[in-house]
Amino acid sequence: MNILLNPFQTPFTTAPFSEIKNEDFLPAITSLIEETKAEINAITSNPEVPTYKNTIEALEFSGVQLDRVTSIFFNLNSAETNDAIQKIAQEVSPLLSEFGNDITLNEALFKRVKLIYDTRDSLSLNAEQMMLLEKQYKSFSRNGALLAEDKKQTLRDLDKDLSKLSLSFGENVLAETNAFEMLITDEDDLSGLPEGAKEAAKQLAESKDKDGWLINLDYPSYIPFMTYADNRELRKKLAIAFGQRGFGNNEFDNQDIVLNIVKKRYQRANLLGYKTHANFVLEERMAKTPENVSEFLNELLDKAKPAALGELKDLEDFAKALDNIDRLEKWDSGYYAEKLKQKLFDLDDEKLKPYFQLENVTNGAFKIAEKLYGLHFEEVDTIDKYHEEVSTYKVTNDNGDLVSIFYADFFPRAGKRNGAWMTVYKSQYIKNNENSRPHISIVCNFTKPTKSKPSLLTFNEVTTLFHEFGHALHGMLANTTYPSLSGTSVFWDFVELPSQVMENWCFEKEALELFATHYKTGEVIPMELVSKIKESATFHEGMQTLRQISFGLLDMSWHGQDPSAIEHVKVHESEAFENTKLYPDVAENCMSTAFSHIFQGGYSAGYYSYKWAEVLDADAFEYFKEAGIFNKEVATKFKDNVLSQGGTVDPMTLYKRFRGKEPQPEALLRRAGLIKK
């Protein structure tokens, strides 16, 4: 009996991780694809006249178990993968790609959808029904339904290839990340490193049966070393290893994969009648066109570049005076920036970390969600987990009703890719008058506890936790009828608003006092440190903004033009970075070959959305600040008009319902210190 083939008989119908075997996935997915095909056939062979209910809603609610099983599988492939899962992924992805094409290229199905779409104005549909209909119609028209038969086959082949290439890209980055280790046997080489980081490095070495201190490319190991280690040569070695992932001319090299992906995406866009992949993607974004994105990024560049160059000059002068460094390299930036920050603000992460014990920060995020949205988090041990380090929570509202199941997975391990993300194991939807609640997860790579200390977070890790928790709230508070419009199923340049606005509470005294207490003494974080956090919030904001703009411009350079003539990944990347470059180039390094956001995640032609959403979030938080950061009226407007609405309404309409007006870019520039308040 394959447990994946039927609805789960578990508390809250959560995923039965401990009962799932790797070998269950392929047969289950294969079987559930056939089952969903039968549901589709039932729609197309229905002799009744096509109606919204028997076609649009029937299609929307087809393949529910397939969706659940594939979400479990691909979430595990990101958070708890192994060779067996990666091998299955290479088999499953083309099957799912082919099945997706089977639906969007199904002429009989499209004919029924089109019939309803063409008569939509006479159907008295509400806003959500109309949005679902438009989304379904576009899913056909934008994915080949109007193509000739031979071109439909070309599309199928391209999609199958792209799904495999994307998987291989991610596997190579993970393999390169896991392969590098820097064993240090002379304690003098750890000079400058905080005691907590040294202890973690010692513990990591012991876990591998090695004597000394082990540094690797996982962020909790990599970042402290690059920030604090005095040994410049070792910083260089580590930085080059990090920047060389996928660019080593070895079995894990991603250069050909990158070129293949961008060229096939371009071919796919052309096939569907679009000028570039970016034109295809941005049609369904707030930005709408590559020209709008370029204009947006270049306007920000004009504001940020003078500030960034001024900050760089100050950093160069500081490094020269301190250590007689004639030329700053990339592996010097974090180190001297931290030293300069300490000098200017008398503030560093080592002073802050004792106030940011992971459990306290997590509870702080929960308390803030309670004050804003009336949510209550109860840790429960009756919910199955995919790893012992995962924590599970039941989330309820003030009436005691179930709002969501919440998983939190905080620490790095070999089977988990780098970075942080929010994901969904089960979407929210309403069917047969029952509001089926979502199962939401956040996955991070934070500093692990050591033998002598609990997990103490850097301030950057604190803001990362709040960022992902903001995404989680978007998923948890979903309250829509249809799963494909629920939670974070919104335009990608809108999806970062709930996450980025949540980060703002990390800088506010009223919020910090809820959770920033010393892990030993229980003392609330002193006002002096709170003031310094706020003062230093815009430290090197020009350089940080320039960095984000450079990633957005690189993304658009790959996807906003014809890539056919690009032969060398590194050469192309260098040209794209030319106008945003601050440090000398490192010949051995290439960012594109490990740029997982755009080559493995969903951010192709969409990386600009982080800055785009910052405009929204800065403007939104000004509204909270005007009324009070825990003002219930403003919070309720945000919950009712943004967090609960998913993709049911155009995002600018939702934003204006919340704010009363369109967002003002000046709010972001003011917050960043790039224009005067």
Q: Which residues are identified as catalytic?
A: 468
Strands (E) in 387-459, as ranges, are: 391-396, 402-409, 421-426, 429-431, 434-436, 439-443
Cα distance between residue 178 and residue 88, in whole Å: 20
**H/E element holding 378?**
strand 376-379
Cα distance between residue 392 and residue 25, in whole Å: 23
Give the burial string for 196-234 (b: 16+ CB within 10 Å, else e): bbbbbbbbbbeeeeeebbbbbbbbbbbbbbbbbbebeeb
Q: Find the distance separating the first CA and the last CA of the chain, reported in whole Å.
A: 65
Cα distance between residue 482 and residue 131, in whole Å: 10
Cα distance between residue 385 and residue 391, in whole Å: 8
Cα distance between residue 402 and residue 329, in whole Å: 52
Query: What are the structure tokens assigned to 457, written together?
Result: 């977070």
Do the Cβ atoms of 188 and 198 come closer than 8 Å?
no
- Looking from the CA of 630 toward its CB, the CA atoms found within 13 Å total 13
**Contacts for 245-251 with beta carbons within 8 Å, 24 or more apart?**
245/172, 245/173, 245/176, 245/177, 245/217, 245/593, 245/594, 246/169, 246/172, 246/173, 246/176, 246/590, 246/593, 246/594, 247/569, 247/570, 247/588, 247/589, 247/590, 247/593, 247/594, 248/176
Cα distance between residue 568 and residue 574, in whole Å: 10
Cα distance between residue 458 and residue 502, in whole Å: 17
Q: At which residue do the structure tokens 């029924």 appear? A: 112
Q: Which residues pair with 424 in a beta bridge?
A: 440
Dihedral in degrees, nearest 10, Cα atoms 239, 599, 616, 281: 160
Give the Cβ contact number of residue 255 at 10 Å. Answer: 17
What secondary structure letter does DSSP report for 50?
A: P
Strand 439-443 and strand 421-426: the pairing is antiparallel
Nearest CA among 83, 82, 85 for reference residue 93: 85
**What's the distance, CA 344 to chain centroid?**
32
Give the burial string for 157-186 (b: 16+ CB within 10 Å, else e): ebbbbbbbbbbbbbbbbbebbbebebebee
